[in-house]
Amino acid sequence: MTKENKTVWILGAGASMSNNFEFPNINQIFAKAKEYSIISLNVKTLKDDYKELSEFIVNCFNKSLLRTSDKIDVEKVMTFLQIEFEKKGSYSNLQLMDKVIFLIRHVLSECLVRGNSNEEYEHLVNNFLNRNTSIISFNWDIALDQLIKSNNIYENFLKQISSKFTEGFFNGYIPFPYKEFPTDTGIYLKMHGSVDWLYCPNQQCRVNNRLYVLEDSILESHYCSECHEECKILIIPPLLNKNYDKYPSIKKIWNRSFLELNNASEVIIWGYGVPPTDFYSNWLLTRSIPHETIIKIINPECLRISNHENELQEYSINKTFVNKFKEIFSRQKITFYYNYKDFKNNFDINQKYNVKV
């Protein structure tokens, strides 16, 4: 299999939100938690488990978990918790971070239950996933995972990244070191972890570097069968400093992602806006993708839509969004699509909306 026909998809929150309108963006997590009665008993009363977190947010940001009008930035909350832990060494801050991670996990699980549309993901799986197609996802949710569990790219993730088929301490069979990276198979890589991934947090435990994928309820507690510590969910919090080296499985995923992108003839980025504070992903996209690779961006943020009194709509380029990708992919050919429907029908924004990028 040659590089000329290898496609890599990159998925961000916009892909899951487009596929299922229940899914929030990262700064809607607390609002969804209130809507689903995860953090509150009623509109005026917080559950006891979240009172300490509420006090921290009030003290730092003068915002309330109960006020719907207060937009609470999860990245800021968790970054402040991390900084205070580093400065004060208070483990209560780590416990609050775990509380936020559990809340994120609970919200995304509830969204999956309440949502009822997988139409776009189903189309992706049925029409665009070839044997050597890879998917790189920055999402924690498992909406797509449930659709590709019988696909070879998910099986390759289980075999090569997770401990699904590991036997004993010596990790079973490990292939001989390669000279040239094989591009004839695809894989599913989740860069920031997943709500159904477990790991043992005990650094002295010999299975500390293992990644386990849950097959039952993702909200129940699980314990390490080696050292009996309570396992934690492996999701990378939305911190300014994400500290990927702390998690061997995540570091392995990032290394593999670089190789996948470096061998791609086509990269399709759906619903991922490359946050300005995520320097790692910015570096990955800038440094890994060859100049001759074709880039396709699926994202409604590429357009500005103005509504007029006569009900006519005027379309123009969102230069801030588009220029960000032009800077990252300064030597590659880029095509922009407003949404997945336009992409599958092969209507880019130049054709459909008569705008020039």
Is there a single domain that holds both residue 150 and residue 198? Answer: yes
List, as own/partner pairs, every contact residues 165-171 make where C-beta atoms lie below 8 angstroms and the sequence separation is at least 24, other chains included. Answer: 166/210, 169/206
Number of domains within the chain: 2
Residues 6+ apart with CB under 8 A from 333: 294, 295
Cα–Cα distance, 230 to 224 (Å, whole number):
6
Is there a single domain that holds both residue 47 and residue 131? Answer: no
325 within domain boundaries: no
Domain finish residue from 63, 80, 114: 114
* HEC per residue, the chain: CCHHHCEEEEECHHHHHHHCCCCCCHHHHHHHHHHCCCCEEECCEECHHHHHHHHHHHHHHCCCCCCCCCCCCHHHHHHHHHHHHHHHCCHHHHHHHHHHHHHHHHHHHHHHHHCCCCHHHHHHHHHHCCCCCEEEECCCCCCCHHHHCCCHHHHHHHHHCCCCCCCCCCCCCCCCCCCCCCCCCCCEEECCEEEEEEECCCCCCCCCCCCEECCCCCCCCCECCCCCCECEEEECCCCCCCCHHHCHHHHHHHHHHHHHHHCCCEEEEECCCCCCCCHHHHHHHHHHCCCCCEEEEECHHHEEEEECCCCCEEEEECHHHHHHHHHHCCCCEEEEECCHHHHHCCCCHHHHHCCCC
341 within domain boundaries: no
Is there a single domain that holds both residue 61 and residue 138? Answer: no
Is there a single domain that holds both residue 161 and residue 194? Answer: yes
273 within domain boundaries: no
Is there a single domain that holds both residue 137 and residue 98? Answer: no
283 within domain boundaries: no
Domain finish residue from 207, 230, 262: 262
Cα–Cα distance, 119 to 139 (Å, whole number):
18
Q: What is the pLDDT of residue 253?
A: 94
340 within domain boundaries: no
- Tell me the pLDDT of the chain (357 aa) as tens digits: 455 689 999 999 999 988 777 888 888 899 999 999 999 888 788 899 999 999 999 999 999 998 888 889 888 899 899 898 888 877 888 899 999 999 999 999 888 888 767 789 999 999 999 889 999 999 999 989 988 988 889 988 988 888 876 554 445 556 778 888 888 889 999 999 999 999 999 999 988 888 999 887 778 889 999 999 999 999 988 777 777 888 888 999 999 999 999 999 999 999 999 987 788 999 999 999 999 999 999 999 999 988 766 667 788 999 999 999 999 999 999 999 999 999 999 999 999 998 888
Is there a single domain that holds both residue 135 and residue 240? Answer: yes
The CA radius of gyration of the chain, in Å to the nearest whole number, is 21
What angle in degrees, to the nearest 10, is found between the helix axes of 51-61 and 74-88?
A: 90
Is there a single domain that holds both residue 143 and residue 255? Answer: yes
Q: Which residue range forms the structural domain that includes residue 106? A: 26-114
100 within domain boundaries: yes
Is there a single domain that holds both residue 60 and residue 196? Answer: no
Is there a single domain that holds both residue 7 and residue 121? Answer: yes
Cα–Cα distance, 24 to 143 (Å, whole number):
13
Q: What is the pLDDT of residue 128?
A: 94
| Residue count of the chain | 357
Q: What is the pLDDT of residue 138?
A: 95
CB-based burial of residue 187 (10 Å sphere; 0-12 exposed, 13-18 middle, 19+ buried)? buried
Is there a single domain that holds both residue 187 and residue 79? Answer: no
The strand pairing partners of 42, in sequence order, are: 45
Is there a single domain that holds both residue 213 and residue 258? Answer: yes
Domain finish residue from 75, 94, 114: 114
78 within domain boundaries: yes
* pTM for this entry: 0.91
Is there a single domain that holds both residue 185 and residue 96? Answer: no
72 within domain boundaries: yes
Cα–Cα distance, 27 to 293 (Å, whole number):
33
